[in-house]
Structure 1
Amino acid sequence: MTDRLSVAYSPCPNDTFVFHAWAHGLVPGEPAPEVRFADIDITNGLAERGEGDLLKISYGQLPWVLDEYQLLPCGGALGRGCGPLVLTRSPDEDLTGRTVAVPSERSTAYLLFRLWAAKAVPGGFGEIVVLPFDQIMPAVRDGRVDAGLVIHEARFTYQQYGLHRLADMGEAWEQETGLPIPLGAIVARRSLGAERIAALTETIRASVRAAWADPAASRAYVLAHAQEMDPAVADQHIALYVNEFTADLGEEGHAAVRALLDRAAEEGLVPPVAIS
């Protein structure tokens, strides 16, 4: 049995880019962790069951895990112009009563979709189907669902599936709030203790700085886990999701998280929580 820290994050380029240095033992004073790659719906479930020391989860999952996990102010994904998209086979699809595929019902993408749909689809959509994010566009293309809520690199590739962007959830969010979009959060088990969590925070920041200082060092690791993604798309993905908020949430980042969860709680989508 290993006594290494257990860490779970997605195989997406932004996560492998951020965690490359730490995962390879390149951060002085902190041994490489035991890494598990998993999509966001899986890591959300791991956090809810209390499995894992440090995880990348959706901000939409936070209200259900804050008793056991602490939000870290770095390593996650917030940004502008990077919101989830609603895709359909035709550009003027009416979602009333329609089936929509989503990557998770405990995700920022889903919360943004529900907040948008409350105004944009007054008749109400139909069934929600949870699918791994890489299966959503094929499902829409093939007519197995009427629409899909997509994240990550799908912003750059959906036209290859002959799909149309019905709405940009991030665009709607930014116009309404003026805040960045809180997508993925890094949480650490509270039982690790304040001192250990503080040290892990600095480890993640060091890993981010190392990635920025030498982007080529993580290239092979990023592409090996990028699900056959075109290298140029991987670069776009990193540029979009790894930014100043990855190094430090800061006041604006925390305000964005509070705004998302407060609005979602008002709609009855999540239980109310306090984000400090």
Structure 2
Amino acid sequence: MKLSLGFSPCPNDTFIFDALVNKKIDTEGLDFEVFLEDVQTLNEWAIAGKLDISKISYGVLPQLLENYCVLSSGGALGKGAGPLLISKKQYSPEEGEIEKKSVAVPGKNTTANLLFSLAYPKAMNKKFMIFSEIENAVLKGEVDYGVIIHENRFTYRAKGLHKVIDLGDYWEHQTGLPIPLGGIVAKKAIDKSIRSKINRLIRQSVEYAFKHYPTITGYVQQHAQEMSEAVMRQHIDLYVNDFSIDLGQEGRNAIDKLLSVYQSMYPEQLVFSEIYSE
């Protein structure tokens, strides 16, 4: 059986899926057609129902639950791993100032946008762009602030940019839960027994990767050629953890909380009850 599978070329995703897609583990008769795309593209594809299995931002999950459910393995939840709001100048903005300024955000349907909106609900002048373009947009003065994710957390200081607030810290202080960044969803139309198998294989793939860590495989390097191995490891260490092996109850609580925040912001949109595959 062949299934379409999408994830990003970021080291945390290639680390998680390497063993699965390169058949370093027994895939139990399943084959995968792999699509590597940035997370905003994956989110848009998921809204359109394009792939069988996909990495997505949890921020877009409410729009997917009619057709997709969350798998318990392969995701990114964590503490101290959230998006950062950055600026060109080092200062503490006055209350209400940020809401009046332009802010670059890495995609509309992203967890980063939802976390930023939780902290700054009145901010309306958002400019949505690919995450890798945001640092330069702030440096060039195209926007006043930027919300950065992924490897940009490790590079913004070297470019002379400054942190205004850690949006992940804000979430953690408000909720006491890990930050639900990204997860793996599978189509509800796929037989439940097959979804269980997919989930099991992703878990085995993560466990295989951890067993051979800190070795950085050629597959991870191939898709992150602009990064040093040290930055690749920072990326993996920050985003791949026990929640990537299994969400557990704490992980599910975090996702449920994010969904409730979304519903409070968009009360006209329904959140479906069947969230998890099992």
TM-score norm. by structure 1 comes to: 0.93
Alpha-carbon distance, 1:223 to partner: 1.5
Aligned position for 1:164: 162
Alpha-carbon distance, 1:110 to partner: 0.6
1:173-195 Cα deviation digits (max 9, x unpaired) = 11111100000010011111101
Using the alignment, how far apart are the partners of 1:224 and 1:173 within structure 2? 34
1:84 aligns with 2:93: no
Aligned position for 2:62: 63
1:49 aligns with 2:48: yes
1:133 aligns with 2:131: yes
Using the alignment, how far apart are the partners of 1:97 and 1:35 within structure 2? 42
1:149-193 Cα deviation digits (max 9, x unpaired) = 111111111112211001100001111111000000100111111
Using the alignment, how far apart are the partners of 1:176 and 1:96 within structure 2? 20
Using the alignment, how far apart are the partners of 1:175 and 1:219 within structure 2? 36
Cα root mean square deviation, aligned: 1.6
Q: Which amino acid aligns with 1:75?
A: G
Residues 76 and 246 in structure 1, CA contact (< 8 A), matched pair in contact too: yes
Alpha-carbon distance, 1:136 to partner: 0.6
Partner SS for 1:55: strand
Q: Which amino acid aligns with 1:54?
A: I
Segment drifting more, 218-227 vs 21-30 = 218-227
Aligned position for 1:121: none
Find the partner of 1:240 among 214, 221, 238.
238
Q: Which amino acid aligns with 2:116?
A: F
Q: Which amino acid aligns with 1:192?
A: I
Segment drifting more, 56-65 vs 25-34 = 25-34
Q: Which amino acid aligns with 2:263?
A: A
Structure 2's unaligned 5+ residue stretches are none
1:116 aligns with 2:119: yes
Using the alignment, how far apart are the partners of 1:207 and 1:220 within structure 2? 16
Aligned position for 2:202: 204
Judged with a 3 Å threshold, the aligned counterparts in structure 2 of structure 1 residues 217 and 22 are, in CA distance, closer, same or farther, namely farther
1:36 aligns with 2:35: yes
Alpha-carbon distance, 1:126 to partner: 4.3
Residues 57 and 111 in structure 2, CA contact (< 8 A), matched pair in contact too: yes
Using the alignment, how far apart are the partners of 1:236 and 1:60 within structure 2? 23
Alpha-carbon distance, 1:226 to partner: 1.4
Residues 261 and 272 in structure 1, CA contact (< 8 A), matched pair in contact too: no
Alpha-carbon distance, 1:30 to partner: 4.3
Q: Which amino acid aligns with 1:12?
A: C
Using the alignment, how far apart are the partners of 1:96 and 1:188 within structure 2? 36
Segment drifting more, 264-273 vs 171-180 = 264-273
Using the alignment, how far apart are the partners of 2:268 and 2:245 within structure 1? 27
Judged with a 3 Å threshold, the aligned counterparts in structure 2 of structure 1 residues 30 and 168 are, in CA distance, closer, same or farther, namely farther
Structure 1's unaligned 5+ residue stretches are 119-123
Segment drifting more, 251-260 vs 227-236 = 227-236
Q: Which amino acid aligns with 1:95?
A: I
Segment drifting more, 142-151 vs 10-19 = 142-151
1:102 aligns with 2:101: no
Using the alignment, how far apart are the partners of 1:227 and 1:43 within structure 2? 21
Aligned identity (percent) is 42
Aligned position for 1:27: 25
Judged with a 3 Å threshold, the aligned counterparts in structure 2 of structure 1 residues 269 and 223 are, in CA distance, closer, same or farther, namely farther
Residues 78 and 178 in structure 2, CA contact (< 8 A), matched pair in contact too: yes
Aligned position for 1:7: 5
1:74 aligns with 2:77: no
Alpha-carbon distance, 1:95 to partner: 1.6
- Counting matched residue pairs gives 269
1:47-71 Cα deviation digits (max 9, x unpaired) = 1101011000011111111111111
Judged with a 3 Å threshold, the aligned counterparts in structure 2 of structure 1 residues 180 and 30 are, in CA distance, closer, same or farther, namely farther
Partner SS for 1:5: strand
Alpha-carbon distance, 1:259 to partner: 0.7
Judged with a 3 Å threshold, the aligned counterparts in structure 2 of structure 1 residues 216 and 180 are, in CA distance, closer, same or farther, namely closer
Using the alignment, how far apart are the partners of 2:123 and 2:190 within structure 1? 42
